[in-house]
Chain A
Amino acid sequence: MEIDISRPILARNDELAAANRKLLDTSRVFALDVLASPGAGKTTTILATIDRLRERYRIAVIEGDIASKVDAEKVKAHGIPAVQINTGGACHLEADMIARALGALPIDDLDLVIVENVGNLVCPTEFDLGQGARIVILSVPEGHDKPVKYPAIFAQADAIILNKYDTMHVFDFDEDEFRESVRKLNGAAPIFVISAKTGQGVDAWTDWLSERIDAARA
């Protein structure tokens, strides 16, 4: 006998993500999911973003890592509330982990929650967390060919950051080729060229983010 199921494989995650999104919407909090490979500068970019925006918005960070509290401690040292999620081997965050982390944060006293996903350009792709926007950070040393190697994640990004731009002269990074491959995949996402370390280009990125935070608060 054939039983018709016809439902998304990740229905359970999708439902929890929808609940997170609803909680964030009613609390007027904007959630940003940050994706990148390990070492692209996720934490440094998040800290640079916090430095630009902390006077205007109340910010918290959810740190996703397979193990350790290193990143959450870095953020806390900045005086920003942070929750560490250890996935214990899992290669991506899922909506139920975010639900628990949101429960540990003072959501009514926040404007922006930044989620640092596990360093990985593949596995997080299919897992909606309930975020307001999802960005991908690529760093210059990783090479300009990453959008071609990991198309799914670049295709769904709401914005793309090219980080470590101050190292351009050291690497054979073809910026034109990078921009062309992104455009073919995702014509809508803006590309922000930054150096989180020197601060170059960070203002244009935080202006884009501020517009979205303001829209969520309105």
Chain B
Amino acid sequence: MHEMGIVAEVLAAVTSAAESSHAVRVNHVTITIGQLTAIMPFALNFAWDALTPGTIVEGAVLEIVEVPARSRCGECGTEFEHDQYDRVCPKCGNFMCEVIAGNELRIDNVDVDLPDEEAVATVTGTET
């Protein structure tokens, strides 16, 4: 259940970004999780639903972008996608390959409502 700790870190970063921009609401949070990490998206969503109520992030959508694993062969230079279990080069059979994607664990961006944005929206709303 280390996903709880992962989500707590995401919330800390999102809350601090929202506060420093004086946001009133967080709508959407995008994170990227590589396939080679030991993180389960299902458990992230569960932790998200458990930890966000009562915070500025309550009700926000957590979008999880999953990145497939890719490696580069140290012998022949071939770049190839692979699963979690087999990182051997499909071209030359070399097993000393360098992972170039799949270990990501990143907060990308957050969509927020600002107070003045809301005021603008209301004004344009009454005009139309």
Binding site for B on A (CB under 8 A): 1-13, 90-92, 94, 122-123, 125-127, 148, 150-153, 155, 181, 183-188
Contact B38 A123 (CB under 8 A): yes
Q: Which residues of B contact A92 (CB under 8 A)?
A: 2
The reply to whether A181 and B85 contact each other, CB–CB distance below 8 Å, is yes
- Residue of A3, A11, A90, A150 near B112 (CB, 8 A) is A3
- What is the CB-to-nearest-CB distance from A94 to chain B, in angstroms, rounded to a whole number? 8
Q: Is the interface of A mostly helix, strand, loop or mixed?
A: mixed
Q: Is B60 an interface residue (CB 8 A)?
A: no
Interchain residue pairs with CB less than 8 A apart (13) = A2-B109, A4-B108, A5-B14, A5-B109, A6-B106, A8-B105, A8-B106, A9-B106, A127-B2, A148-B85, A184-B86, A184-B88, A188-B96
What is B's interface to A at a CB cutoff of 8 Å? 1-2, 5-6, 9-10, 12-14, 17-18, 21, 23, 31, 36-39, 84-88, 94-97, 105-114, 117
Specify which chain A residues have a CB less than 8 angstroms from the CB of B107 in the assembled complex.
5-9
Of A1, A148, A183, the residue contacting B95 (CB under 8 A) is A183
Are A12 and B85 touching (Cβ within 8 A)? no
Q: Which residues of B contact A94 (CB under 8 A)?
A: 5
> Beyond A9-B106, A126-B2, A152-B36, is A187–B97 a contact (Cβ under 8 Å)?
yes
Q: Which of A3, A6, A126, A187 contacts B37 (CB 8 A)?
A: A126
